[in-house]
Structures are given as structure tokens and as C-alpha cells.
Amino acid sequence: GESVGLHLPTLSVQEGDNSIINCAYSNSASDYFIWYKQESGKGPQFIIDIRSNMDKRQGQRVTVLLNKTVKHLSLQIAATQPGDSAVYFCAENYSGNTPLVFGKGTRLSVIA
């Protein structure tokens, strides 16, 4: 498999439990945030996004929470499944004129 997961913080979760992956972002002017999932040997895959005028957004089994006061973003995965095992990245963007800035990532391991 790919070596991109080395040196990453790891979260181990029992299958069926809920997972919470956290991300601290750096730019207080950022107004758009995305969570990506990267499985071994594949490119990052878009999961869910949120704009700064919201503090919560829900998708299928996933919820993103945004706390602008402390510049914190979290991804909650309900009923975690083995297929959720991957590296998860947050990304931020200021819609004025800057490209996405990615976090270092968190490896999620689901224990069957």
C-alpha cells in the first residue's frame, strides 16, 4: 500500500461505534471547509463540505461540525464500518483568492 499514512495520528474504533475526527484550522478568514477520505492506493475522495455561515451539516452517516470561535472542525461518522478505514483530511479555503489548504490527516482504523 501507499506510504502516505506514516507519521499520522491514528484513531481506532470498534465496528458499529461512532467516530469523531478532529481538525484545527489556521486561517480565521477561511470560509469554506471540506473533509476528504483517502483509501490506500487511491486519491482523496470528497465526503462533505460546509461553509462558514453554518455550524453543522449532515450527510449520509456523516456530520461535519464547525466551531469558528476556536477554529475547529470535526467529522462524525455514525455506525463506523470496516469500509470507513482510511486517512481523513480536512481542507480549508478562503473564497477570496486562495486554493485549498489541507491538514496533515488522521488515520481511522476500524476494528471488526
Partner 1 sequence: EAQVTQNPRYLITVTGKKLTVTCSQNMNHEYMSWYRQDPGLGLRQIYYSMNVEVTDKGDVPEGYKVSRKEKRNFPLILESPSPNQTSLYFCASSLSHSGGEFFGPGTRLTVL
By CB under 8 A, name the binding residues for partner 1: 2-7, 32, 34, 36, 41-46, 49, 89, 93, 95, 97-100, 102-105
In single-letter form, the type of residue at position 34 comes to: I
Name every residue whose Cβ is closer than 8 Å to that of residue 30 and which is 6 or more positions away in sequence.
52, 92, 93, 94, 101
Q: CB of 91: closest distance to partner 1 in angstroms?
A: 8
Cα–Cα distance for residue pair 3/91, rounded to 1 Å? 20
Nearer to partner 1, 60 or 97 (CB): 97
Nearer to partner 1, 104 or 111 (CB): 104
Q: CB of 47: closest distance to partner 1 in angstroms?
A: 9
Q: Which residue has the cell 469523531?
A: 20
Q: Which residue has the cell 502516505?
A: 4
Q: CB of 112: closest distance to partner 1 in angstroms?
A: 26
